[in-house]
Chain A
Amino acid sequence: MIASLLLIIGCLFIAFSIFGIIQYRNIFTKILLISKVDTVATLTIIIGLIFYQGFDASSIKLIILVIFLMITNPINSHMIARVAWLHGVPLEDSERTKS
């Protein structure tokens, strides 16, 4: 029951991420949205899989994977945003026709 609920919540977060990457135009807005929503979706689905299987010897590998993804996924987003900022990508949209 808890596992099904966590998997459904994770799918909902992935749907939010897809909606956001369609909706917005600017690259920094996309990075701001992806770096939070995608990390939360990953952690929610993997914790749901721990509840799905029950505590076992393979839960330790899943916990290691959770810790590793929780450290490295925001680092990736920060690094992409830093390189884009140092290359001089403008912070605001030049055209305001859509979004």
Chain B
Amino acid sequence: MIETLTMTFLVGAIIFSTILLIRGPSVWERLLALNLFMAKSVILLTVYSIVTNRTFLLDLVIAYAMIGFISITLICRFLLRGGRTK
């Protein structure tokens, strides 16, 4: 019961952050929305893997969290060196 409620709420939050990722007027709001999207999808995959008792998905969750961290780090370094205008 409570896990279904949590997963429904997380799917709603992911849809909202996707709308924010498309709509945002500047680069930084899109980067912030990407951060939100990564965190929410990590939580959703963790809840799914615990509730349906498939614990091999947790390795995938750790790898996905690392990919999110590295992607935001590299996009920030790219923007710090001057972006596309340089």
Contacts and interface: CB of A to CB of B under 8 A. Distances in A.
Tell me if chain B binds chain A. yes
Interface of A: 3-4, 7-8, 10-11, 14-15, 17-18, 21, 27, 30-31, 34, 38, 41-42, 45-46, 49, 52-53, 56-58, 61-62, 64-65, 68-69, 72-73, 75-77, 79-80, 82-84, 86-87, 89
A15 B42 CA distance: 17
Interface of B: 2-3, 5-6, 9-10, 13, 16, 20, 26, 28-29, 31-32, 35-36, 39-40, 42-43, 46-47, 50, 55, 58-59, 61-62, 65-66, 69, 72-73, 76, 79-80
B72 A30 contact: no
Question: Main SS of the interface on chain A?
Answer: helix
Give me the 7 closest cross-chain CB pairs, A-B, nearest first: A58-B55, A61-B58, A72-B69, A79-B76, A84-B28, A4-B2, A49-B50
Question: Main SS of the interface on chain B?
Answer: helix
B56 to A, nearest CB: 9
A7 B6 contact: yes
A53 B69 CA distance: 27
Contact of A7 (B3, B13, B42): B3
